[in-house]
Structure 1
Amino acid sequence: MFQTTKLAEGVSLHIRKTTQFKTVNFSFKWRTPLTTKTAAERAVLSNVLQHSNARFRKSAEFRSYLDDLYGTMLYFDVSKRGGEHTVMLNVETVNDQYLSNQPVLNDVIDLLQTVIFQPNWKNGQFVPSIVEREKQIVIQRIESVFDDKTRYAQQRLTQILRPNHPASIPASGTIETVKEVTPASLTEAYQSMIDNDKIDIYVAGDIDVEEIQEKMKKAFQFKDRTPQKPTINEDSKPEKDYVKEFQDMKQGKLHMGFSTPVKFGDPDFPKMQIFNGVFGGYAHSKLFMNVRERESLCYYVSSSYSPHYGLLYVISGIEPKNEKKAIDIIFEQLDEMKKGNIADLELNQTRAMLVNQLREALDLPRGQIDIFDQYKDLDEEFSVELWKERWEKVTKEDLQQMASQLKHEATYFLCGKEAE
């Protein structure tokens, strides 16, 4: 899918030549072990790097230049996966083949080099006023979770379910750790990211592979590094198995956490993907059809599988008075799966949905990059057909086994104060 070459020790370049798109897409991914401190520093850092650099010290100038490059899109973001924190730099620009007079690819690569290696510094570190401004924006982003009660309830569940564990560390850190960021600590975090992080660089588009390899090698001369491997606290256990909290709100948020021994890359991983789809992943699932449609107990209900942590979540929006009945019927659906009461239609629809999701993602350059970035860790050539074949082999007996291994660990219920 992608051709991989090594730019330096710990730095890989992945190139995909494809005629699917009229654009050329770049994605840089810097990875380091996830802690609340690194997450906070790197969330602020991604904001600071996005808006200015040594060449364009003002955001307006920077954005104006991007517009001149035929509306080239450039943005930073942060995420987490397993025990790693990721800073992403994504760029999409028009392919030179569609420009009659002024090619832009070389200009875009030069700009990327500036953005990465020439930050906007004053006296050898990031500008204090810019750092403070971007800290406030990150803090506002973290605070906004409180207003989205579903996201807030899910955050509280993971904090209860896996304290002192990457699963419960937000990708932007915490308000307290963001406040502790200084221009000096941010400069140190930037230098560590450039010199020590594991780096994956992606290029996708209708380009000459050898030519782009040479351009990228010349422009991005990263030093050799031995990236630090993340560690996950496998001893992390729930603080409590049930927590109920109250806020000014109408709809109750019922979130349940389960653990499974099956993680990403395990032989049973495809079985667990199918299990999640049949249980609560889609609109044809047991949870949706029974808790919502049959019993009308919730506004929404679904399950999601977090394979890097071995966790499965059930989330629903309910009337507080329906809490016990909703929980009972959720467990009832799990029991149905343990007994093997699974319709052929449920199984076939789930297989079809998983295949369609992959194909839809591969219709976008960013989807191709993200899927390869995840599945490349399995050390095998990725293809839709390979995964379709694996999902086709999953039986009802396999799903019974997945259900029997699932262990309920914690429930979090957030509801209005009138329910106290």
Structure 2
Amino acid sequence: MKYTTQMDAARKGIVTPQIETVARKENMRVEDLMERMARGAVIIPANRNHVNLDPEGVGEGMRIKINVNLGISKDCSAIEPELDKVRAALDLKAEAIMDLSCYGKTQEFRKRLVEMSPAMIGTVPIYDAVGFYDKNLQDITVDEFFDVVRKHVEDGVDFLTIHCGLNRHTAEKIKKAKRLTNIVSRGGSLLFTWMEINQAENPFYEHFDRLLDICEEYDVTLSLGDGCRPGCLHDATDACQVEELITLGELTKRAWERNVQVMIEGPGHMAMNEIPGNMMMEKRLCHGAPFYVLGPLVTDVAPGYDHITAAIGGAIAGMSGADFLCYVTPAEHLRLPTLDDMKEGIIATRIAAHAADVAKGYPGARAWDDSMSKARAALDWPGMFDLAMDPVKPRQYRESSKPEHEDSCTMCGKMCAVRNMNRILEGKDIQLDD
């Protein structure tokens, strides 16, 4: 029996290699996974042309996955440094990489990325359109926008971020809303500008079926972008954000009718108390489709530390129903992240994802923490390092400050609580003095 997409296969009862792999990774019955895929609650982004993909599931009952943004720009157009970041991101176990390239040899970078990465790959084609055609944004035609989309999927991209929900009606609300930060989505702002100058509808909204044709042909997942995501706490959960979300829910149903897999992108900046409500609202308005969030960043006043503000929000979001976390680095709002910035962002986001998995009771999540606790109780330093999310940093800390006694550290020395409890319970003398 033939199938067009992973969703189509699940609906027809066909077990694809990708479905089999994800079921094994998630310790889930194939039948349960396929039932969730059939109703759109789980996606497996897997472009037919991404031949070395190691597929992952995103959505209901899955372990929370993380995404890493990178790519070349006009100010930083060298390909090799970005590919070094790709290698590091894969080493740090990122499940997805989004190529946000917007200038230079974007197709060369994209092709090399797909070729080298077993992680799923996403792109935002509108970023690439301006540089690719080397013309003013307003002069790009509808056909040219869709031609760039097709080039991306032909190159093997697994999911596409397209800001389909920012239509002219919502754009009018943006102009009246008196937001503090207006539109902070790069893709959303480009489409808003194109619509305003040309007095035309968003081509991806107006010609949504044309987009679905491309996605269905290559089995590409559609990541419905949040052009109205809040760029500050003040703008969170306003009418613009909610109206766009309602539109995305309508588009989700249209995509599912074509067996095209969908996930929904979400905020943004948001106070902690608003996050659970936003997660519930997305799931209700978008019919249980997987939710992909940037942060949310829970305060606006920590530039240089936004990997922390985002990790706080990401943990709450994940615990409350988000399925996919986009990393945020210390360089957010400030510059293109360096390799070190990227590493800090990945670890912070992985911490948030794992903390949420523990809180949700994901099978096996707490066992990792219990193993670390046993190693700590035994003062098994090599064991602790092997279990660490990032083994390198704790080893460096330990090596940089050697204690007098191996069963302690330079913080407490012989007063180490763990050391002394182990000794006294074993019937040994403690001897705190030298």
- TM-score, normalised with respect to structure 2: 0.23
Using CA pairs below 8 Å that are at least 6 residues apart, which structure has the higher relative contact order? Answer: 1
- TM-score, normalised with respect to structure 1: 0.24
